[in-house]
Structure 1
Amino acid sequence: MPEPVPERASGRRPATTTVVGHQQGGDRADPGGWPLVAAAGLAVFMAMLDTYVVTVALPSIGGSFGVGPAGLQWVVLAYFLPMAALALPTGRWLDGAGHRAAFLLAVGGFAAASLACALTGSLGVLLIARAAQGVFAAMLTALTPVLVTVAVRPEVRGRAMSVVATLGPLGALSGPALGGWLTEAAGWRALFLINVPIGAVLAVLAVRALPAGARLRWPGRSWVAEAVLLGGAVLAVVGALTLTVQAGAGWLALTVIAVPLLGLWRRLPTSAALLAVARARPVRGGVLALALASTGTSAVVYLVPFFLTRQAGTSPGGIGLALAALPLAMVVLGPLGGLLADRVGAHRVALAGAVVVVAGLVLLLPLSTAWGAADLAWRLAVVGAGMAVFVGPNQTRIMSAAPPSSLATAGGASGLARSLGFGLGPALVTAAWAGAGYTPAGMRLAVVLTAAAALGAVVALALTGPRSSRRATAFPGRAKDAAS
């Protein structure tokens, strides 16, 4: 891993240095090209996969350490919470860092933390190592959209971004299935050991594809204050949503903590940079749409297993096959979304994808007790098709409209939006279903709410559409991606 150096020791950058969020010479691509896109896609898949890959292995982990369900939930939360809480502050820090140094630190740190998870002999050490994984995962989620933005020419950026934007949700949605297979075949420690060779491959690709660039600098006091306040606010919200699913709606009271923390953060001089990113309407609308679409998708993925178990008596294998329809549709159609974005404009394609997501969720609304796995599978495939067409073009639009000096901040905002969506979706379903006494009617109400969330994504995109073209022209070479 590269060693961060103090800010005063960093020295003057050479004129040819390429740094996160800025490129000398405008929109000229880094020499890494498509291999760098592949590395970024694999990195974000690994980071999102580790959010949920351990869920099916929790009983095995509990058996190894003699721990019950109450303690085991923290194996998931110890990773998820820092990844969400530090996404924005980490992006802010990395906006001035060299591509290679930042990526090697993130990948090397993630691999080292994964190795510590695999070798640990106690639950306490496992939780510390999982938290370290989450910190480096926050770096990866902020960095990968930046690497794609600078790796290829603007005219193929939609296709490149679709690779990464599809692999991120795919990693999260396929985590339980892959985790079950690996645990059964090689034991729960293999879930973490597999990250070590992947990290080595990513490091080699980074060294080959990226120029040396600037060295990392230690964050200053102002960044630490921002990270504590902003990260604490996000932690309160995401933690409340996650614990609501596990222990009831009373945990929603934790969200109140976020209000004074955000108020204090708003008073910091450094908050101006993040607010400047948010003032770009395509960024603001795209991030909100991503959070809402992720809410609807994660909610229905959480609900379907309960429906199939209780109403159709479907086996775990059948449930897995039904759920696989959604990520499979994303894999198949993701490249199409990128191609269309490059041909007709990212905004139009992202909006069309969000509409298809709404249509798929509306098709689920009847939730007939006569339905089986196949009836839900094709409807989930429609949702997956919509997400495939939405996520890549939407990310292209966000990154194209962000100020060049704040690309990592925009990438961190996208990572935070996904995390909030994945936390809010199950909480929304649980609240609606529990409020109706865990009845089929409660399940239908939950689906209505998921469709409403996805409809909100459509509205967010529609309201931040063509008018954003004037803002996008402030960043040469980006107007078509951001506003078309």
Structure 2
Amino acid sequence: MVLSLPPAASGVVRTGTPVGRWVLLTTVLGSSMAMLDSTVVNVALPRIGADFGADMSVLQWTVNAYMLALAGLILLGGSLGDRFGRRRVFVIGVVWFAAASLLCGLAPNAGVLVAARALQGVGGALLAPGSLALIQASFHPDDRARAVGVWSGLGGVGAAVGPFLGGWLVDGPGWRWVFLLNVPLAVLCVPVALRHVPESRDGREHGRFDVAGAVLGAAALALVTYALIEAPGGASAVVVGAAVAGVVLGAVFVAVERRRADPMLPPDIFSSRQFTAVNLVTLCVYAAFGGFFFLSVLQLQVVVGYSALQAGTALLPTTVLMLLLSARSGELGQRIGPRIPLTAGPLLCAAGMLLMLRVGEGASYATDILPALLVLGLGMVTLVAPLTSTVLASVDAGRAGLASGVNNAAARAAGLIAVAALPLLAGMGPEAYRSAAEFGSTFRRAMPMCAGVLVVGALIAFVTVRKPAPDCRRPESRTHCAVAAPPLESGRE
């Protein structure tokens, strides 16, 4: 199907025009679908488990099936948009995401839900890179920074509202509406995109797609994740075989990427020590975030006794702080360099997670929960914006889009592994979330582990990260609430 041409050419749209407002509406709606999904689903997990009579592994797969597909395919999704048209691939991603969301909402059992979540991740990999790329390609260069600022600010508001909205839906019409909410958003988004958003593509994109790399990378992640999630049931031959196969496929993935002329993940991008170091910090930071937000929502509901709405609302301080202060944090990082923020930020986050050890049965929000979340939020504010700008400053401007995609995929893969591994490392049994006493004791073992990973990230930053050259590229997206992964940035100049 050939999409009809919209009434404006790419690269000339101005922010004050009707077309400019339509483009912003479309991209905000599309990105909000993926952003909301990363913040609202965790709130629904206890109710999903109760409705399906599921054990802990199903809750982990409900999160990880989505993250697995997204982390494995997001680089490929960006390349597809550059080749076949950013609007085209974005619209396909929105429709795909909405259809998978509908299947999630109608899922009759846990198996169908997990499969639908994986399909959602495929849709997310198509639409997430295209949202910002459409703005960068559509708007006039003089208006581009302002348009990105509006897009990132509105996206931040959506992320901040997400946990509250998810809790309200779970306690009200039911957890299925956490997914069904995406359908009306898509119904509004797609016609606007087809009618008002100009098509664009990168004329330089003529190489073959690295489908083999994408499949190998996703398969390696899937097998390792399976082994970690299923290991509490016993180290069976299947679990051990999956772990070994995952490691072997990971090695094959590295070998294939080294030999391909046009790899999905060019190994030479890691020749920059700064880029490699910041991605190691990213792995540590977002592994801790992924494990924390997965377990803390369960802790608030299972142990403290909060409803889904109360649990979602309780987490608002972290995203609100990021929404309000991330731009200033980015400016501070430019003045003093990234080394101090990327060292102090993880340490603050570690302190916040250790303060969560006070959160148990009968915990007070004002004296136990809120202080921990405020310290955690300040740490996130301190590190996320400088982390993104340092990633982009560590490579040539022409590879900024690739660098951002690699960094985003690394963060999602780290969160994926953390959600799979942390319950195992903390000794969390399959039925732990049904018992306040058992879950509380394992949660107290898990938080120091998350804090320890953050301390490792801070040490890596302190030893390896240096201030980039003053003329290096800076991200235009300065306001965000990047709980699941750093914000994607376009490499388009």
The residue number in structure 1 matching 2:334 is: 345
8 Å contact from structure 1 (residues 282, 464) kept in 2: yes
8 Å contact from structure 1 (residues 179, 191) kept in 2: yes
The residue number in structure 1 matching 2:95 is: 108
- State the secondary structure of the residue aligned to 2:200: coil
1:417 and 2:406 aligned: no
Higher mean C-alpha displacement, 241-250 vs 180-189 = 241-250
Residues 1:36 and 1:243: Cα distance change in structure 2 (over 3 Å): farther
In the alignment, the residues of structure 2 paired with residue 454 and residue 378 of structure 1 have an alpha-carbon distance, to the nearest angstrom, of 23
Question: 116, 120, 124: which one pairs with 1:129?
Answer: 116
Residues 1:127 and 1:77: Cα distance change in structure 2 (over 3 Å): same
Give the superposition deviation at 1:320. Answer: 4.9
Alignment RMSD = 5.0
| Aligned AA (2:186) | G
Residues 1:181 and 1:395: Cα distance change in structure 2 (over 3 Å): same
1:446 and 2:439 aligned: no
8 Å contact from structure 1 (residues 229, 261) kept in 2: yes
The residue number in structure 1 matching 2:304 is: 314
| Aligned AA (1:315) | G
8 Å contact from structure 1 (residues 362, 451) kept in 2: no
In the alignment, the residues of structure 1 paired with residue 141 and residue 199 of structure 2 have an alpha-carbon distance, to the nearest angstrom, of 21
| Aligned AA (2:122) | V
Residues 1:426 and 1:117: Cα distance change in structure 2 (over 3 Å): closer
In the alignment, the residues of structure 2 paired with residue 247 and residue 56 of structure 1 have an alpha-carbon distance, to the nearest angstrom, of 29
**1:363-387 C-alpha deviation (Å, 9 max, x unpaired):** 5546665974433422322221332
* TM score, norm. by length of structure 1: 0.71
In the alignment, the residues of structure 2 paired with residue 206 and residue 230 of structure 1 have an alpha-carbon distance, to the nearest angstrom, of 32
- State the secondary structure of the residue aligned to 1:86: helix
- State the secondary structure of the residue aligned to 2:199: coil
The residue number in structure 1 matching 2:79 is: 92
8 Å contact from structure 1 (residues 89, 226) kept in 2: no
Give the superposition deviation at 1:137. Answer: 0.5
8 Å contact from structure 2 (residues 350, 452) kept in 1: no
The residue number in structure 2 matching 1:478 is: none
The residue number in structure 2 matching 1:223 is: 210
| Aligned AA (2:468) | P
1:388 and 2:381 aligned: yes
Give the superposition deviation at 1:219. Answer: 10
- State the secondary structure of the residue aligned to 1:96: helix
| Aligned AA (1:202) | C
* TM score, norm. by length of structure 2: 0.70
| Aligned AA (1:345) | Q
Question: 276, 288, 296: which one pairs with 1:296?
Answer: 288
Give the superposition deviation at 1:135. Answer: 0.4
The residue number in structure 1 matching 2:187 is: 200
**1:67-105 C-alpha deviation (Å, 9 max, x unpaired):** 766556544443222112112232333333433222222
The residue number in structure 1 matching 2:262 is: 270
Residues 1:188 and 1:246: Cα distance change in structure 2 (over 3 Å): farther
| Aligned AA (1:292) | C
**1:318-347 C-alpha deviation (Å, 9 max, x unpaired):** 655543322232233234345x26xx7388
8 Å contact from structure 2 (residues 392, 400) kept in 1: yes
| Aligned AA (1:348) | G
**1:408-433 C-alpha deviation (Å, 9 max, x unpaired):** 53343233123123224445644554
**Where in structure 1 are there 5+ consecutive unaligned residues?**
5-15, 474-480
Question: 322, 327, 351: which one pairs with 1:330?
Answer: 322
8 Å contact from structure 2 (residues 102, 180) kept in 1: yes
- State the secondary structure of the residue aligned to 2:175: coil
| Aligned AA (2:78) | G
The alignment of Structure 1 onto Structure 2 pairs a total of residues equal to: 447
Residues 1:243 and 1:50: Cα distance change in structure 2 (over 3 Å): farther
In the alignment, the residues of structure 2 paired with residue 217 and residue 228 of structure 1 have an alpha-carbon distance, to the nearest angstrom, of 24
In the alignment, the residues of structure 2 paired with residue 433 and residue 423 of structure 1 have an alpha-carbon distance, to the nearest angstrom, of 16
Identity, % of aligned pairs?
26
Residues 1:152 and 1:265: Cα distance change in structure 2 (over 3 Å): same
Higher mean C-alpha displacement, 33-42 vs 106-115 = 33-42
Residues 1:92 and 1:357: Cα distance change in structure 2 (over 3 Å): same
8 Å contact from structure 1 (residues 44, 141) kept in 2: yes
In the alignment, the residues of structure 1 paired with residue 244 and residue 343 of structure 2 have an alpha-carbon distance, to the nearest angstrom, of 31
1:275-290 to 2 correspondence within 5 Å?
Answer: 275-279=267-271, 283-290=275-282
